[in-house]
Each structure stands twice: as C-alpha cells, then as structure tokens.
Amino acid sequence: MVTPSEASSPPGTRWPTTGRWLGALLVVRLALAAACASAAAAAGDGWFVWLLLAAVVGIDPALRWIAPQRRGRELLLELPVQAAGLLALGWLTVEVLLRQKGTEIAPAALVRFAGYVLLWLLALRQVHRLLLRVAGLAPWLRRHRDARTVLCAAVLVVGGMPQLFVALQTHRIAVGQTPDARFAGAAAREVGFANPEGLMLRGTLLRRPDAAPDTPVVIVCHGLGANRAMFFGYAQLAFELGCHVLAFDFRAHGHSAGMVTTIGAGEAEDVVAAAEFVRSEGGMRGPLVLVGVSMGAATALRAAGTVADAVFAESSYADLTTMLEARMGMLGPAAPLASTLAQFAALCQLGVDLTGVSPRRALAALPAEIPVVLVHAGADGVIPIDEGRRLAAARPGLELHVIPGAGHGYCLFTARRRIEGLLRELLASIPPPDRRRAR
C-alpha cells in the first residue's frame, strides 16, 4: 500500500526516503540496545531495568516522530538487527570490562541472555500498547492524550519493574573465573560435584598437607552474580589460619551448570552438596565452617542448621521480602505494592515462595552451640544495614560488626586485619567434638 507521503514524492525518491527512515529507526533501536547491553555489564541489574523500561515507554513516541505511516513494518525490520546489536555490543562491553580480571564468558550464555532480554522487551512493548488501547476506551483519557501516556507509563513501571527485577536477578551472564591459588603451602585442586538437581557445580579445593584430623573445613559461598574467584580472599585467609578450604560456584554462576539462580532459595541445596562433597574427601572430618558474602551469607545461614558447626556471614539480608521492598524504594509510595508484585513474579517465573527465604528465621532456630559472626558493610548500597540489624536481633546477644566505609562485598578488602581477627575468634569458639551436635 502506497502511503500519502510516498504518493506525493517525486519519482525515484521513494526508496531513498524509505532508506532514510530505516536508517533512523535502526539507529534509535541500536542506541537503545547498546545502552541496555552496556548497563547490563557495567552498572548492574538496577540500571538495566530502568533502561529497558525507558526503551519500552519511549519507543512508540520515537517511531511516531520518525515515520508515523510505517510503524506496521517495524517488528519484521528491527528484530534481526536489534538481536545482532544486543549480542555484539553486549559481548564487546563485557569483554572490555572483564578481560583484565582473567574472566571467561561462554558464548552460549551471552546468546541466551540477549534472547531473554529481547523477549522481555517485545513482551513489555505489547503490554504497553495494550494499556494505551484500553485507556483510550475512557472518553476523558481519549481526549487527553498526554494524561493517557503518563498514566500508562506509570502503570507499566510499577507493574513491569518487579517482573523485570526478578527476571534479571535470576537470569544473568555467567562469568567464569579460575582463582589464583598459588600461595604458600596450598595444594589446590579443581573439583566438581552434583547438587540434588543434578547440576554440576565447580570449585577449588585447598587441602593442608599433614593436617590434624580435626582441622576445620571452610566452605566459601560467593554473592549473586559473582563467582568463587571474586571472593577467594576469604579462602586464602581461612587457609592461612590453618583450615582446609572449598570455594565453589553456585548454580548458574561461574563455571557451574544451570541457567537460573533463585536468589538464595534453592542455593541452600548447593551448600549442602558442597558439604557432602568435602565430607566424602578422605581426612576432612573436622568442624565445618560456612563463610558467605551477600546471597552466599544468606544461603550459609539457611543451610547452617543442616551442615555447619560455625557461620561467618557478611552483608546478608534478614528476609528476602523486606530486602526486595528496600530495593523497590525508588518507586516511593508504590514500593510495598511493587514488592508484592515481585514476590508474585518469583512465584510465577521460578515457582519460589520468597516469604520462605528468611535467614533471620534460620538464625533464630540455630542451636546455641553453633557460633555465628555477622559482619555488614558500613556503606552498603545493595543490602541496607538495617537488614543486618534485624538479622542480629534474631539471636539474643549476637553483635553486628559494621565495617565503616566498606561497600557491598568489600569488608575483607577494606578491613582485612579486623576480618581476620573475627574469623580467628570464630574458629577458636567452635566447641570440641564431644560438645558438637551429631550429624
């Protein structure tokens, strides 16, 4: 069908006009894709969510400004280029940012992530258009187009952000990294073991030669979106304090198998699998100590009642639901509603009831003979320090050690001597074998 603008164009100018429109459309879409891919690698999931929502809300006005008569062709024309743009720009950004750290990114993981982002972008755009059409049925909103646009954008943000937040927290680009275990006296070995779901988890085992039978065994649990190498400083510290150490990658992280993480819900099973693995190794029968950071700390607390003799937790949330509400605080008065929608999103997307993910309740149920050390970053911008205070209040007399000036996950790097002292005290407080709980 020839549009009025094409009919009025002089002969020979139709294709150049169409070419200019296509070029402008692809530039807009590629710019949005580049921004989203770069934010995913550099700024984290929070900024990525906002950029995706901005892309969804802003794309139709952009198209109306570029070429109002040709919006019907956009899906067919843009998808291949946008997919290629997301893939290429995302790969380039991630490689540039992470190459210096010796990391590895599987091409399949990047392809899956790019495809997942595209599906969400398309789905949210269709929802946004449906909202605009439904709102247009109201006479007042039909007459006031700007009010309709603002209202639909607000509904999409409040309803869409929780869905995106859960989706992008649980589907990430797995960044593999093998830690450098070349320090004095370490006999390092790369190992693998399966969790209850059959996913192969990878780790690095450090054994002390000629160790006593009751030498403590430390399992290091990393945070969400990280890997075992990023927190290997804890492994080195524990080894220097005379312990055997296993640092491993959770499911869908690092070199481990899996495509979906559950933000600490199912990961407790990974910790139990790691504990069973070290117990199967000959000569590693000493007390088992869980050391975790962020999601790893929350998971360690939840698994402690099953496998641990002591726990060291840095920057854990108290309850996943309250942490979600704090993260949704940017939505102001709509934060409680957004948090509830995020819980619903997790139930729909993962089949996980987030109300059951409560390190606070797990800590309160721990026997008194299991010592616990809680540490929280003083300048934590991810998990509010109030979460740490609520967690400490679950066990009477338990102190929360705040590391001033430390960012999220940086307590060891900020105050190594103090962290070393706390870990040393924890190891010294483990009861003798005859007073430990039988397992």
* pLDDT tens-digit series, residues 267-290: 999 999 999 999 998 778 899 999
For 369-394, how does the pLDDT look when each residue is reduced to its tens digit (9 = 90+)?
A: 999 999 999 999 889 999 999 999 99
Q: Where are the domains of the chain?
A: 16-170, 178-319+357-435
Measured distance CA(255)–CA(265) in Å, rounded: 20
Q: Which residues contact residue 403 at a Cβ distance below 8 angstroms, ignoring those fewer than 6 apart?
A: 375, 376, 377, 378, 411, 414, 415, 418, 419
Residue 31 pLDDT level (bands cut at 50, 70, 90) = low
Burial class of residue 317 in the structure, from the number of CB atoms within 10 Å of its CB (0-12 exposed, 13-18 middle, 19+ buried): buried
Sign of CA dihedral 234, 289, 171, 52: negative
Question: Could you tell me the pTM of the whole model?
Answer: 0.79
Instruction: Calculate mean pLDDT across residues 159-178.
Output: 81
C-beta separation of 21 from 74 below 8 A = no
Nearest to 292 by CA among 375, 174, 360: 375
Mean pLDDT of the chain: 80
The DSSP H or E segment spanning 165 is helix 145-170
The answer for residues whose C-beta is within 8 angstroms of residue 135's C-beta and 6 or more apart is 141, 148, 151, 152
The per-residue pLDDT for range 185-224, each reduced to its tens digit, is 777 899 999 999 999 999 999 998 888 889 999 999 999 9
Distance separating alpha carbons of residues 329 and 54, to the nearest angstrom? 18
Q: What percent of the chain has pLDDT over 90?
A: 42
Encode pLDDT of 58-85 as tens digits.
555 555 555 545 545 555 555 555 555 5
Task: Specify which of 131-135, 404-408, 434-438 reaches the highest per-range mean pLDDT.
Answer: 404-408
CATH code 3.40.50.1820 for 178-319+357-435: yes
- Residue 358, CA distances (Å) to 244, 318, 405 in order: 29, 6, 27
Task: Please state, in angstroms and rounded to a whole number, the distance separating the CA atoms of residues 327 and 339.
Answer: 9
Better pLDDT: 31 or 354: 354
How many CA atoms lie less than 13 Å away from 93 in the CB half-sphere? 20
Query: For the CA atoms of the chain, what is the radius of gyration?
Result: 26
With cut-offs at 50, 70 and 90, classify the pLDDT of residue 256: very high
DSSP state, residue 334: G
What is the mean pLDDT of the segment spanning 300-319? 96
Dihedral pair phi/psi, residue 206, rounded to 5°: -110, 115
Q: What is the average per-residue pLDDT within 33-42? A: 48
Structure confidence by residue, pLDDT tens digits, 123-163: 877 887 888 888 888 888 878 877 888 788 788 777 777 88
E strand residue ranges, 216-296:
217-221, 244-248, 288-293
What token pair was written down for 234? 């804890």
- Of all residues in the chain, the percent with pLDDT exceeding 70 is 74
